[in-house]
Chain A
Amino acid sequence: MISYILNFGWLEDLVTKLLVSFGIDMETRLGGSVHFFFYDVIKILILLSLMIFFISYLRSYFSVEKTKKILEKMGGFRSHIVASLLGTVTPFCSCSSVPLFIGFIEGGIPLGVTFSFLITSPIVNEAAFIILMGTFGVKVAILYALAGITVGVVGGYLIHILKLERYIEEYVYKVKMGQTDIKKITRRERIEFAKENVKETVSKIWIYLLVGIGIGAVIHGWAPEDLLVRYAGPENPFGVLVATVIAIPLYSNAMGTIPIAEALINKGVGIGTALAFMMATTALSFPEMVLLKKVVKIKLIMIFIGIVGTGILIVGYLFNYFL
């Protein structure tokens, strides 16, 4: 019963009933596609709005400033784990990547630890987590989050071991960061923050969602299953590689790629392939690189792509193999 509610079995039945009452035959391709479209749109919107609200409320207890304070006091491998974990919960917009980077480095946080935060932050966020949960279930969502954290910890640690500090732009070290007080937030402000976040996330991703679900619906009805299984199925050793490489220049929202991933998986594409694609679109996005270019030299960005890309590949293969 709980899984019927959590996995939206009720909505599936409801949409079927409604479509049938409008005289749409569920056995046809069109019927299947239309059902997929409405079911997915409604499900994702409900999930998103509700859960983003609650998670944002919790997130309001974290801030970039507090995260910096915590990491400044820490050292060793442990700090990579903490940075990565904080990356998942600290409210942070990718447009603040540059000031955050400079602020962390200025505060004496090692480059690798800073990267542990920056890698995990876009991969694991509440919206991606929620949609994954609604689409593939709790287990996959948790595994995805764990994988994202692991890629951040290991990736950041490798950057640390390789001692790449020389690739940071020199002006970064010269900047002296000013002081700002960490503001006390009232409960009303937290609720306001959560509401704003729901509005912002939904308004930012609805178009990706519609397009993503639309494409997903077409794949659902029309994509040739045998072909997909052959080229992108879990058996094909290059599936994950191709998916990851395709994802890099593709600037989409992770949320928009999930419905496509779902449809592809239903058609026999490996789940690891689909998740690798999703991780790569978020973690290795082109606009993010352009921002990073302001603070680090191109060589470090290349190494970053190499390390994170490899991590994502491994995750993809592991998921394909074990799930």
Chain B
Amino acid sequence: MKIEILGTGCKKCKELYERTLEAVKIEGIDAEVIKEEDIVKIIEAGLMSTPGLRVDGKVVSYGKVPKVDEIRKYLK
């Protein structure tokens, strides 16, 4: 599974990254978690409000930092 954190590196993006790592750990799945900080790539993903979360190429959340439980749902 490929998970991307879309954001230009603000505080919320880091928070989302941490929470995602935690969610991956709880779910015990094999996933690659990457930070995508390139603004052009972020726009191409269709985002105007960061941070965003993209799982296997599909944007599942944007403009907020979802709770760990919510992130877990996206990973299923």
**A26→B49 CA distance, assembly (Å):** 49
Q: With contacts A95-B8, A96-B63, A193-B64 known, is A180 near B46, CB below 8 A?
A: yes
**A178→B41 CA distance, assembly (Å):** 9
Report the stretch among A62-70, A149-157, A225-233 that lies at the interface: A62-70
Listed residue (A92, A98, A100, A180) with the most chain B CB atoms within 10 angstroms of its CB: A180
The total of interchain contacts (Cβ-Cβ below 8 angstroms) comes to: 66
Check if A268 is an interface residue, CB within 8 A of chain B: no
**A99→B44 CA distance, assembly (Å):** 10
Interface of B is mostly: loop
Check if B42 is an interface residue, CB within 8 A of chain A: yes
Report the stretch among A8-16, A44-52, A169-177 that lies at the interface: A169-177
**A177→B42 CA distance, assembly (Å):** 9
B39-64 with Cβ < 8 A to chain A? 39-40, 42-50, 59, 62-64
Nearest chain B CB to A190 CB, angstrom units: 12
Interface membership of chain B positions 20-52, coded 1 if the CB is closer than 8 angstroms to chain A and 0 otherwise: 000000000000000000011011111111100
**A171→B40 CA distance, assembly (Å):** 9
Interface membership of chain A positions 230-259, coded 1 if the CB is closer than 8 angstroms to chain B and 0 otherwise: 000000000000000000000000000000
**A91→B49 CA distance, assembly (Å):** 9
**A294→B10 CA distance, assembly (Å):** 15
Interface residues on A, range: 20 to 34
A96 touches B43 (CB 8 A): no
Contact partner, A98, options B8, B12, B45, B46, Cβ 8 Å: B8
Q: With contacts A93-B49, A99-B39 known, is A175 near B64, CB below 8 A?
A: no
B49 touches A63 (CB 8 A): yes
Using Cβ atoms and an 8 Å threshold, which residues of chain B touch A178?
A: 43-47, 59
Q: Report how many residues on chain B are interfacial, defined by Cβ distance under 8 Å.
A: 20
Contact partner, A175, options B8, B11, B40, B49, Cβ 8 Å: B40
Q: With contacts A95-B10, A95-B50, A103-B48 known, is A180 near B59, CB below 8 A?
A: yes
Nearest chain B CB to A291 CB, angstrom units: 8
Contact partner, B46, options A92, A95, A104, A179, Cβ 8 Å: A179
Contact partner, A65, options B12, B40, B48, Cβ 8 Å: B48
Interface membership of chain A positions 72-100, coded 1 if the CB is closer than 8 angstroms to chain B and 0 otherwise: 00000000000000000001110110111
Can you name the residue of chain A whose Cβ is closest to the Cβ of B6?
A99
Contact partner, A100, options B11, B40, B45, B49, Cβ 8 Å: B49
Q: With contacts A102-B39, A180-B59, A180-B62 known, is A96 near B44, CB below 8 A?
A: no
Q: With contacts A95-B10, A171-B40 known, is A64 near B45, CB below 8 A?
A: no
Q: With contacts A63-B63, A98-B8, A193-B64 known, is A177 near B43, CB below 8 A?
A: yes
B63 touches A91 (CB 8 A): yes
Can you name the residue of chain B whose Cβ is closest to the Cβ of A204?
B11
Using Cβ atoms and an 8 Å threshold, which residues of chain A touch B49?
A: 63-65, 92-93, 96, 99-100
B12 touches A93 (CB 8 A): yes
Check if A196 is an interface residue, CB within 8 A of chain B: yes
**A277→B31 CA distance, assembly (Å):** 49
Check if A288 is an interface residue, CB within 8 A of chain B: no
Using Cβ atoms and an 8 Å threshold, which residues of chain B touch A92?
A: 49
User: What are 22 A-B pairs with beta-carbon distances under 8 A?
Assistant: A63-B49, A64-B48, A65-B48, A65-B49, A68-B48, A91-B63, A93-B12, A95-B7, A95-B10, A95-B11, A96-B48, A98-B39, A99-B39, A99-B42, A99-B50, A102-B39, A103-B47, A103-B48, A177-B44, A177-B46, A178-B44, A180-B62
Q: Chain B: residues with CB nearer than 8 A to chain A?
A: 7-8, 10-12, 39-40, 42-50, 59, 62-64
Q: Chain A: residues with CB nearer than 8 A to chain B?
A: 63-65, 68, 91-93, 95-96, 98-100, 102-104, 106, 171, 175-180, 193, 196, 294
